[in-house]
Structure 1
Amino acid sequence: MSNNNTGEWNSSLAFLMSMIGAAVGLGNIWRFSYVLYSNGGGSFFIPYFVAIGLLGIPFLILEYGLGFKFKMSFSNLLHKIKPKFEIIGWILCLLAFGVVTYYMVILAWDVVYLGASLFLGWGSDPSSFFVNYVGGDSNISSWGHLIIPTVIGLIIVWVMIWLISHRDLNSGIGKVSKILIPALFVIMGCIVIFSLTLPGHNLGIKTLLTPDWSLLFNVNIWLAAFSQIIFSLSLGMAIALTYASYLPKNAKLINNVLIVVSSNSGFEIFTAFGVFSILGFMSVTSGVPIESLIQQGTGLVFIVFPTIFNVMGVSGRILGLLFFLAILFAGITSALGFLEPLLSSVCDKFNVSRKKSASILCGVGFVISMFFTCGISSYLVEIVDGFLNQFGILFLIALQCIIFGWILGIDDLIEVVNNNSVLHVGKLWKTIIKYILPCVIFIVWTFGIIELFKNGGFLELTVDILITLSVLIASVILTKVDDYK
């Protein structure tokens, strides 16, 4: 069955903006800056661009080619290859849906900060504000109460996602992406340009780019680069495959891949200059060493930056509003991408309308997201994020290389992806998909597993086991409940 409930992109621009929106997200704004700094600074660009060439571009070409050729959902495609493989499709779609459920909670935090930025409502102690009114802490005894501002923010963002996703392809995702992605780039451009005028910005950029060439001989810097590309481009989650299945004839697949990859990388590199320019400003004005200000994830976005905006006064309110608005735009378009594979698969298998499927999934997603609004909200988000990305999705990327490269065979895809494209692929691309990628990803996955069992506490391992069992049970049910017609 084809995607008769989803439709077709009405323009290449709608597809490109939606794909860029799915790729550009929270990870580009905070994660890349931290990874770049902590993995050799300027020297990190060498493994970073190698990872783009060996992983980012080849795997996206594979996903585009499969989606464009077969014009069906991910689970349906695996069912077509071999009925027993269908369960793998549902597992991946459910893992991507799992990402949506906690991703929306981060967006709920952002909504709280977006409102607070108008009057610097986080006060003089942003850390306490985050713990008490937004993300909670890691104290297990706090799990029994809800964080009301986060609950309100969660309702707002899930309603936004439903309003967009339940509409047809072009008036929903396509239209919103064509508005939000250019707006996101303009807002971040304003932030970065303004940050480059601040005293101390040179210190920040110098700190960011100072190379540590010795780290090039450390396997961890290469693992960090490949992990960043997977995380940043949302590889292996069937997002690109699903979006490409809506493409009309004569689409220039490889051209589109290059545009999406270059836009994504350009955005995160450009944003890193702004992030560290602002950190350099805070270091100069506060006297705190810049190394002490650099934090990953929620600490950087929701604690350090509000502290910086406090120092800036009136300009901090404007910059803070723009900053959290940019995060909201980036997050909404990415969340739509994470939701789409499961939405497409449900429509495809059960022959129900997009509106009905989106309504059901958004309702289920909201209920699951509510578990992340308790007093240990940020701690649970950290646990689930680490498990889904470092264990589940990584393993399935390697599995896709084996299924598509060895069992399905990708010889016929070469002509499909090369058609109408400026650049062409051939034997080297096949070698990367069949041999190099599975080996590299297996190494990354192995390190993730070792890290999980080495440092994982009782709660973390319990949550990971519950997620695994829930996804497996739901996948079996979705596989067995009905056959494709």
Structure 2
Amino acid sequence: MSENKQKWDSNLSFLFAMIGSAVGLGNIWRYPYVAYTNGGGSFLIPYIVSIICMGIPLLFVEYGAGFKFKAGMSKIVREINKKYEYLGWFILTPTFFILTYYCCVVAWDLIYLPLSFTKGWGASPDNFFTNIVLDAGNPGGLFHIAILVLCAVVIVWFILWFISHRNLNEGVGKFNKIFIPLLFVMMIIIVLSAITLPGASIGIAKLLTPNLSAIFDLNIWLAAFGQILFSLSVGMSIALAYASYLDDKTDLPKNALTVAIANSLFEIFTAIGVFAILGYMSTTHNIPIDQLVSQGTGLAFVVFPQIFNVMGTLGYIIGPLFFFCLLFAGLTSNISVIEPLALAISDKFALSRSKAVTIVCGAGFIISLIYTTSMGGDLLGIVDTFANNFGVVFNVILEIIIFAWIYGLENIIPSINKNAKFLKLGHKWTILVKYVILVIVLCIWISGIVTTLLSGETLTVTVELILFIALIGIPAVLTKLPARNDDY
């Protein structure tokens, strides 16, 4: 028998783990950019609507399925119909893609963390990140290793393995209980410090000033719905895996609401701090905020080091806190991504938690080595776009089809409502998921595919073709391998 029948030692452990999954790097570097470029203050309206009408209902689906079946995605889908096991592994494959590169972003942060105490990136953070950290200018390209990144990646993978391979509560549970509160405390310090900076109000006003015409723009709504999918990690089977470890007396709706609210408040609160700091930079150096606002690596590893450079003594305080926040957010998110993969392997092959996690981390580490080359930064961007725009969004569509149309949400509702005290789901929820949310996610997926195809350079198309072949092939191999668990 596999060792996957562990349970959370408390509901608090589950909540911290789920919040750790939702509160990741995307909250810090993606939400401020998406909000600002999609109507500023008016973006909050579609954002809140998307939480209520899509984010929380989809969390209910994953929570309900994991709680009812007490298993990972591949086993659940197989129990519904043996012919659909392939779809379970298919859903997990983009999650694995994300794990292989997400750990590298954490590795970049690990490089910057000690540097932040001395501003060791120098006077030109852009040049430092591109040429020193990534070593992107080396003509060796794919055949040249960026040593700093490689060393950091090894350390990150060891940390992830060390925490995840242990007993659920001694590893994942204890880690999240310690570091999620620390993350929130440090972010509060950063934001409170940021809003006292000269020009902070200008930056905050830029973020929150509503562009009322944006409310009627379909693309703005699609951006809001897409942000919620990204932010809550819906479609990655994380909530499903974590919910499978829950005690039978858990109030699922209450937990889903708690996670969604905590995640969204953290996003908005962090965005205020980010734009307060951008407003300071804009005011003190007469640089338009439009030229400072970026997402991803540009914001975290170029713009912010530039700002810390001109902050004087305060930069030596906020800088380390900022990179500590990125580190904790990245680690908690990566740990959560390992969970559904390890659970599925444990379910099928009757492996202990320790062995399953070791397999996932070992395979992930080997593939992540490609991001430690001089082409790593470019490749990471391509894989990130493919995994999210194509893979994860399509996963949500598959989950709706599997659980709402094939299995039937009416068979999951009793599990969700079993211990619900103030919110019970019914027919309106099933209609919302089966029709309204399915159409919205289809629109997001089509929009993402079109965007990806229009930006198709030779390298991009080649990498995406390889990823597509892997996306089809890996689930086929895992499906064909004989199960070693009698209960599978």
* Range class of TM-score, shorter chain: over 0.9
Q: Are residues 1:473 and 2:487 paired?
A: no
Could you tell me how far 1:127 is from its partner in structure 2? 0.2
AA in 2 matched with 1:62: V
Could you tell me how far 1:413 is from its partner in structure 2? 2.0
Counterpart position of 1:446: 446
AA in 1 matched with 2:58: F
- Alpha-carbon deviations, 1:413-449, whole Å to 9, x = none? 2222122222111111100111111111111111111
CA distance, structure 1, for counterparts of residue 136 and residue 451 of structure 2: 22
- Alpha-carbon deviations, 1:400-425, whole Å to 9, x = none? 10111111011132222122222111
Counterpart position of 2:295: 296
CA distance, structure 2, for counterparts of residue 384 and residue 140 of structure 1: 22
Ranges in structure 2 where 5+ consecutive residues have no aligned partner: none
Q: Give the total of aligned pairs.
A: 484
AA in 2 matched with 1:12: N
Identify which range, 32-41 or 409-418, moves more after superposition. Answer: 409-418
| Root mean square deviation, CA, Å | 1.4
Counterpart position of 1:249: 248
Counterpart position of 1:411: 410
Counterpart position of 1:230: 229
CA contact 1:6–1:344 (8 Å) conserved in 2:
no
Could you tell me how far 1:137 is from its partner in structure 2? 4.3
- Alpha-carbon deviations, 1:43-74, whole Å to 9, x = none? 00111111111210000011111111111111
Could you tell me how far 1:399 is from its partner in structure 2? 1.5
Could you tell me how far 1:141 is from its partner in structure 2? 6.2
Q: Are residues 1:133 and 2:132 paired?
A: yes
Matches within 5 A, 1:356-375: 356-375=355-374
Q: Are residues 1:426 and 2:426 paired?
A: yes
Counterpart position of 1:150: 149
Counterpart position of 2:59: 60
Could you tell me how far 1:314 is from its partner in structure 2? 2.1
Counterpart position of 1:124: 123
SS at match of 2:30: helix
AA in 2 matched with 1:251: T
CA distance, structure 2, for counterparts of residue 295 and residue 262 of structure 1: 25
AA in 1 matched with 2:43: F
Could you tell me how far 1:7 is from its partner in structure 2? 0.7
Q: Are residues 1:317 and 2:316 paired?
A: yes
Ranges in structure 1 where 5+ consecutive residues have no aligned partner: none
- Alpha-carbon deviations, 1:251-308, whole Å to 9, x = none? 0000000000000000000000000000011111111111111112111110000001
Give TM-score scaled by structure 1 length: 0.98
Could you tell me how far 1:138 is from its partner in structure 2? 8.5
AA in 2 matched with 1:5: N
- Alpha-carbon deviations, 1:206-265, whole Å to 9, x = none? 111111111222111011001100000000111001100000111000000000000000
AA in 1 matched with 2:449: I
AA in 2 matched with 1:466: I
Q: 1:149 to 1:284 in 2, by over 3 A?
A: same
After superposing on structure 2, the runs of 4+ consecutive aligned residues of structure 1 that deviate more than 6 Å are: 138-141
CA distance, structure 1, for counterparts of residue 248 and residue 284 of structure 2: 56
CA distance, structure 2, for counterparts of residue 352 and residue 137 of structure 1: 40
CA distance, structure 2, for counterparts of residue 241 and residue 387 of structure 1: 23
AA in 2 matched with 1:458: T
Could you tell me how far 1:133 is from its partner in structure 2? 2.0
Matches within 5 A, 1:186-265: 186-265=185-264
Q: Are residues 1:16 and 2:18 paired?
A: no
CA distance, structure 1, for counterparts of residue 225 and residue 365 of structure 2: 32
CA distance, structure 2, for counterparts of residue 191 and residue 165 of structure 1: 29
SS at match of 1:122: coil
AA in 1 matched with 2:188: G
AA in 1 matched with 2:15: L
CA distance, structure 2, for counterparts of residue 449 and residue 362 of structure 1: 29
CA distance, structure 2, for counterparts of residue 140 and residue 37 of structure 1: 37
Give TM-score scaled by structure 2 length: 0.97
Identify which range, 415-424 or 53-62, moves more after superposition. Answer: 415-424
Q: 1:138 to 1:70 in 2, by over 3 A?
A: farther
CA distance, structure 2, for counterparts of residue 142 and residue 66 of structure 1: 44
Counterpart position of 1:462: 462
AA in 2 matched with 1:325: F
Counterpart position of 2:181: 182
CA distance, structure 1, for counterparts of residue 349 and residue 302 of structure 2: 45
